């Protein structure tokens, strides 16, 4: 286990696992094909790609996987990913808000940022479903850790933060779904909203119908104006 991974796990973090439903160790026979697949599938909806590919350094090559890890203190990004010849992709990232300073003012989970992240994850999974790293069914697993007593917070367009009374009482929330490849390709945005809606229920918040979709539409607007 790397030093950075140990650091990420000290505070709130995300873990994402995307893989074909059936295991095939050599689904992608050539290790050299892994990085080009990620280059084609990487999602950029808000100025930072998912997964983030650091073109300044070559990815680490192991026996049957490639990976990168990095820490960018300016924006409090701590991330690592691995992509296996079996088609399994693993991404672990710290919650940026937990690293604003070293005193760790464990406080919140930002609503729009969370919707963005779920949307990025499912769109990336849909793009993977077009590649050799896919199967008739795809597994998408998303786990948020260290969320107990964390409250939801909303950042308004003018940069003002608005606190909410919605708070988690569970330490970790795991979400997983096995979805047909055709459905994943056809409706990644809807699948993302279903997943994030289940998360927010664990914060004792049931958003009004259409509210989450309205926030997600901001993502599409940003993408189309870029």
Query: How do residues 84-99 score in pLDDT, each as one tens digit?
Result: 999 999 999 999 878 7
- The pLDDT value recorded for residue 102 is 53
Q: How many folded domains does the chain comprise?
A: 1
- The pLDDT value recorded for residue 147 is 95
Distance CA 90, CA 59 (A): 14
Residue 40 domain-assigned? yes
Residue 3 domain-assigned? no
User: Which pTM does this prediction carry?
Assistant: 0.92
Assign 106 a pLDDT band (cuts: 50, 70, 90): low
- The pLDDT value recorded for residue 226 is 47
Q: Which two tokens stand for residue 112?
A: 């729009």
Residue 202 domain-assigned? yes
Residue 7 domain-assigned? no
Distance CA 175, CA 155 (A): 25
Query: Which residue, chain included where needed, has tokens 């003002």?
Result: 160
- The pLDDT value recorded for residue 220 is 63
Residues forming a β-bridge with 179: 138
With 90 as the cut, is the pLDDT of residue 28 above it? yes
Write the pLDDT tens digit of every residue in 125-183: 999 999 999 999 999 999 999 999 999 998 776 667 788 999 999 999 999 999 999 99
Please give the residue range of the domain that contains residue 168: 15-225
With 90 as the cut, is the pLDDT of residue 23 above it? yes
**CB-count exposure of residue 3 (10 Å: 0-12, 13-18, 19+):** exposed
Q: What mean pLDDT, rounded, does the chain reach?
A: 90
With 80 as the cut, is the pLDDT of residue 74 above it? no
Assign 219 a pLDDT band (cuts: 50, 70, 90): low
CB atoms within 10 A of CB 48: 15
- The pLDDT value recorded for residue 225 is 47
CA 184 to chain centre: 16
Query: What are 202-208's contacts with CB under 8 Å, separation 24+?
Result: 202/147, 202/168, 202/170, 202/173, 203/109, 203/151, 203/152, 203/166, 203/167, 203/168, 204/166, 204/167, 205/152, 205/164, 205/166
Local structure of residue 193 (DSSP, 8 states): H
Residue 10 domain-assigned? no
The proportion of the chain whose per-residue pLDDT surpasses 70, expressed as a percent, equals 90
SS3 call for 80: strand
Residue 5 domain-assigned? no
Residue 193 domain-assigned? yes
SS3 call for 107: coil
Residue 183 domain-assigned? yes
Distance CA 97, CA 61 (A): 31
With 90 as the cut, is the pLDDT of residue 222 above it? no
């Amino acid at each position: 286990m790397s030093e950075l991974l140990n650091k990420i796990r000290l505070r709130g973090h995300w873990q994402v696992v995307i893989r074909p439903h059936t295991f095939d160790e050599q689904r992608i026979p050539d290790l050299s094909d892994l990085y080009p697949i990620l280059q084609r599938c990487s999602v950029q909806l808000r100025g930072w790609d998912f997964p983030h590919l650091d073109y300044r350094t070559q990815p680490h090559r192991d026996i049957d996987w490639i990976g990168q890890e990095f820490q960018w203190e300016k924006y409090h990004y701590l991330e690592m990913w691995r992509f296996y010849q079996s088609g399994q992709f693993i991404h672990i990232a710290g919650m940026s808000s937990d690293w604003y300073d070293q005193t760790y003012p464990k406080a919140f989970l930002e609503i729009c940022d969370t919707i963005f992240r779920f949307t990025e994850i499912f769109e990336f999974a849909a793009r993977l479903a077009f590649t050799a790293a896919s199967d008739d069914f795809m597994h998408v697993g998303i786990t948020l850790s260290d969320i107990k007593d964390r409250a939801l917070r909303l950042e308004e367009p003018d940069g003002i933060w608005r606190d909410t009374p919605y708070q988690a009482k569970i330490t970790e929330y795991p979400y997983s779904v096995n979805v047909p490849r055709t459905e994943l390709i056809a409706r990644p945005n809807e699948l993302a909203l279903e997943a994030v809606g289940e998360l927010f229920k664990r914060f004792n918040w049931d958003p009004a119908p259409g509210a989450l979709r309205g926030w997600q539409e901001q993502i599409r607007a940003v993408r189309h104006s870029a």
